[in-house]
Amino acid sequence: MPHTLSDTVTLNNGVNMPWLGLGVWQARGQEVEEAVSTALRFGYRSIDTAMIYGNEEGVGRGIRQSGVPREEIFVTTKVWNRDQGYDKTLNAFDESLARLGLDYVDLYLIHWPGKDRYIDTWRALEHLQKEGRARAIGVCNFQVHHLQELIQRTDTVPAVNQVEYHPRLAQKELAAYCQQQGIRLEAWSPLMQGGLLNHSTLQKIADRHGKSVAQIILRWDIQNGVVTIPKSVKEHRIRSNADIFDFTLSSEDMALIDELNREERIGPSPDEFMIDFN
């Protein structure tokens, strides 16, 4: 279990990934530059972006402005749906690297499974990993049946599966399968876009620990073995989100939070989301 912001988890290919990172969805321009630079100066070492976010350039500038050496930073980006397929994925990766101003990324992910192209896309990711330009490769929003097909038909088990994950959507079957296969689960929208910040059960737990509800949720992620990347562009929230390593939730606390699960999504179903695939 991690004890500091700099602690990492070892992925199934031996690459070390920070337990806590900064998400930058919907952040643009100067805003994302300042958020990335601030987070890195404060001690974050993981930044998660994607082509479709439209902010890879800003992320790259924020990294350079921070003064933190590149080799100390874990950078994730993702291939978007319309760029799936072997050759198109390789081209999309080159374009992402150019926008980021980097020679490699630490983790490259398939953003959504779609229906019929993720096998060829995955083979492109395997190629990028063999070249060393993606240190680890993984997927987002893959359900058990997607992962089963991927593992059966290709040579590399994903290192990470980044999915919507919060106390209302614990995805227990998926989490168990990923653990069985050595795939590290990573949470996007861990705070349910603020939808749980006023929940009475979580507030009572927060009051007992002298913490905020957001900190309780993020700690619940970590204690469940889930890497987490809360999004914020405000300095005080970036700092607050990282202040989760000086306390431990009891088994009773964890059970109370577990009881909040309703398998309730705020994002789309991975089996139904087909935007830009056609």
- Residues marked active site are found at 53
Environment class of 168 (CB within 10 Å of its CB; exposed 0-12, middle 13-18, buried 19+):
middle
CA dist 171 and 163 (Å) reads 9
Instruction: HSE, CB side, 13 Å, CA atoms: give it for residue 252.
Output: 4
**Which residues, in sequence order, are CB contacts of 4 under 8 Å at separation 6+?**
245
Could you give the C-alpha distances from 124 to 76, 116, 120, 128, 131, in angstroms and in order?
A: 16, 15, 7, 6, 11
**Which residues, in sequence order, are CB contacts of 15 under 8 Å at separation 6+?**
106, 107, 135, 136, 159
Name which of 77, 117, 90, 138 is nearest 278 in CA terms. Answer: 117
Degrees to nearest 5, angle at CA 59 with 161 and 265: 35
